[in-house]
Amino acid sequence: MVSVAVIGGGYWGKNLIRNFAVLGALKVVCDTDVGVRKQHEEQYGVRGVGGVEELLKFKDVDAWVVATPAATHYKLARIALENGKSVFVEKPLAMKGTEAEELIHLAREKGKTLMVGHLLQYHPAVVKLKELIDDGELGRIRYVYSNRLNMGKIRTEENILWSFAPHDISVMISLLEELPESVMSSGGTYLQPDVADVTLTAFEFPGGVKGHIFVSWLHPFKEQKLVVVGDQKMAVFDDMSDEKLRLYPHSILWRHQIPEAQKAEPKVVGVPKEEPLRLECQHFLDCIEKGRTPKTDGEEGLRVLRVLEACQESIDRGGKKIDLVQPRAAGEQSYFAHPTAQIDDGVSIGEGSRIWHFSHILTGSTIGRNCRIGQNVVIGPDVTIGNNVKIQNNVSVYDGVTLEDDVFCGPSMVFTNVINPRSEIPRMHEREETLVRKGATLGANCTVVCGHTIGKYAFVGAGAVVTKDVPDYALVLGNPGRISGWMCRCGIRLRKGEDNTWDCPECGKSYEESKMGLVEKVSSPEV
């Protein structure tokens, strides 16, 4: 019998604990909250531990189930696989596609099961809906949309897109058996800056199907509904209704070349009344015991993650349409590197990135999607670079430097890695961390002295020397660098407005001063 440990016994983890206990597989519960541990220990008669170090002592545990905040999924899954455990990871599999690829490789290398918790794939109503579509009951599919709305748990570590939408993206991909070729997504931030509370995403699929996903945790009532429109029938999966799946044999009658809707009574489709989560947990145990590939394996998790990344990129770029490059199998090269570029072993490079003449990427480095690495650039070892980063010619990004998404590094700019270098005295062990936050611009020939953070959308002018932390949206000029103004995220210098705001004369955004620099001014939601 397979034995599992569940990490995270809170909001969702408690449901996984309950189901694995009923299935007779639960052995250990890991949670930092003593009260949560004791509750599960008493209720299920299992051991409770407070951290991963203690959990690793249980050699007879076959698998870990990760039900912690999304930002921790990759790290915990990697530890599990490295220690010879199969692993079930709640959605999303990771926060970056490159991380998901690493987990897929590691699971294959260790011969272990890697499964992602895309729950709706195991819902009896969704399974039946898939059968109806495959059998041609709905005819040719034209349009799919999903609403996942609630006034529920509001998160700070991930936005609504990453919290709610993975389930619906997973189901759409499964029902249509193809990935979207483009996405457009917009979001509203009403409670916390940079954390979207509501998003609406439009999808275009290669076969001509259109789709929408609307998610919100600022909704007056709970709604979980998926509608599939075919040219013969329409189907509605309503997870909040006792009648989970209904078919509508509506039709269109053309009179004098004018379409008229012909409505018909819906038919309730019977589905087994089984708990989807129980079925999902049982599937995980069966896959481990019988050596099968999970329905929602690492590759499926990676496909969903690629779509999520594209949606987030669209939100970050003001709703711009993002074309998706079809994901390749893990390990297959999906980027361009000039023949003169040197890519060491142990490097991860995201889809669509381009690396030009005589550049060298050292071992252990990770480069995200759609990056542009110019000529004679050195990156690494062990450097992490986000998505859509542009590094122009003659730049070295040393160990200890991290570049978040959308960073721009101008030609010949410099990152130092120690404070007081001497050629005759080795000081690499004294290196200090440098972090360049999302959207920052580092001008040509500027220097960033190590040990400092460049804030979000900050702008360091050409030739400036950064000797201290730079606040979000700050414009820094001179040697040593001094704050000389503020910049909009669109790259235009801000003007002082009324009521202590800073306003962009081009895009119209307004900002307020904070301890971190500026924050984008958020309008109150309409009542």
Mean pLDDT in residue range 343-349: 91
Q: Alpha-carbon distance 390 to 387, whole Å?
A: 9
Using CA atoms, how far residue 312 sits from 223, 240, 456, 502, 523, in Å, is 23, 28, 17, 26, 21
- Give the pLDDT score at 75: 95
Q: What is the pLDDT of residues 114-163, one digit of tens each?
A: 999 999 999 999 999 999 998 888 988 999 999 999 987 777 768 999 98
Round the average pLDDT of the chain to a whole number and report it. 90
Structure-token pair, residue 305:
């993650």
In-domain check, residue 298: no
* Residue 416 and residue 503 in one domain: yes
In-domain check, residue 110: yes
Mean pLDDT in residue range 166-179: 92
Q: Which residue has the higher pLDDT, 71 or 478?
A: 478
* Residue 94 and residue 139 in one domain: no
- Give the pLDDT score at 328: 47
* Residue 473 and residue 351 in one domain: yes
Q: Which residue has the tokens 């039946």?
A: 128
Q: Alpha-carbon distance 55 to 273, whole Å?
A: 35
Most confident of the ranges 234-238, 368-372, 487-491: 234-238
Residue 363 pLDDT class (50, 70, 90 cuts) = very high
* Residue 254 and residue 163 in one domain: yes
Residue 7 pLDDT class (50, 70, 90 cuts) = very high
Rg of the chain on CA atoms, in Å: 25
- Give the pLDDT score at 332: 57
Q: Give the number of other CB atoms < 10 A from CB of residue 499.
A: 7
* Residue 286 and residue 230 in one domain: no
Q: Which residue has the tokens 């991860």?
A: 348
Burial of 477 (0-12, 13-18, 19+ CB in 10 A): middle
* Residue 128 and residue 68 in one domain: no
In-domain check, residue 328: no
95 Cβ contact list (under 8 Å, min separation 6) = 70, 71, 73, 74, 162
* Residue 157 and residue 209 in one domain: yes
In-domain check, residue 345: yes
Taking the complete model, does pTM exceed 0.85, yes or no? no
Percent over 70 (pLDDT), the chain: 96
* Whether the predicted pLDDT of 330 surpasses 70: no
In-domain check, residue 196: yes
In 82-195, beta strands by DSSP E:
86-90, 114-117, 141-149, 182-188
- Give the pLDDT score at 327: 46
* Residue 349 and residue 472 in one domain: yes
Q: Convert 399-412 to b/e letters by CB count within 10 Å (16 or more is b).
A: bbbbbbbbbbbbbe
Q: What is the enclosing helix (H) or strand (E) of 223? A: strand 223-230
Mean pLDDT in residue range 66-91: 94
Q: What is the pLDDT of residues 185-211, one digit of tens each?
A: 999 988 888 889 999 999 998 878 999
* Residue 387 and residue 454 in one domain: yes
Q: Alpha-carbon distance 38 to 33, whole Å?
A: 9
Q: What is the pLDDT of residues 14-26, one digit of tens each?
A: 999 999 999 999 9
122 Cβ contact list (under 8 Å, min separation 6) = 276, 277, 279, 280, 283, 295
In 464-527, beta strands by DSSP E:
465-466, 474-477, 482-486, 495-496, 501-503, 510-514, 517-520
Angle CA 208–212–215, to nearest 5 = 160
In-domain check, residue 242: yes
In-domain check, residue 296: no
* Residue 64 and residue 183 in one domain: no
- Contact between residue 420 and residue 427 where contact means Cβ atoms under 8 Å apart: yes
* Residue 215 and residue 313 in one domain: yes
- Give the pLDDT score at 131: 92
Q: What is the pLDDT of residues 30-48, one digit of tens each?
A: 999 999 999 999 999 999 9
Mean pLDDT in residue range 47-76: 93
Structure-token pair, residue 344:
């060491």
- Give the pLDDT score at 79: 95
Residue 3 pLDDT class (50, 70, 90 cuts) = very high
Q: What is the pLDDT of residues 250-273, one digit of tens each?
A: 777 777 777 777 788 889 999 998
> Domain tally for the chain?
3
* Whether the predicted pLDDT of 274 surpasses 50: yes
CATH number, domain at 353? 2.160.10.10
What are the φ and ψ backbone dihedral angles of 280, each rounded to 5 degrees? -65, -45
In-domain check, residue 527: no
CATH number, domain at 316? 3.30.360.10
- Give the pLDDT score at 527: 27
Structure-token pair, residue 317:
């770029």
Of 149, 166, 154, which Cα lies nearest the Cα of 215? 149
Mean pLDDT in residue range 442-467: 96
Q: Alpha-carbon distance 344 to 381, whole Å?
A: 9
- Give the pLDDT score at 524: 36
Using CA atoms, how far residue 264 sits from 136, 139, 143, 452, in Å, is 19, 16, 19, 66
Q: Which residue has the higher pLDDT, 367 or 11?
A: 367
- Give the pLDDT score at 135: 86
Q: What is the pLDDT of residues 430-440, one digit of tens each?
A: 778 999 999 99
CATH number, domain at 287? 3.40.50.720
* Residue 459 and residue 428 in one domain: yes
Domain that holds residue 317: 121-273+307-323
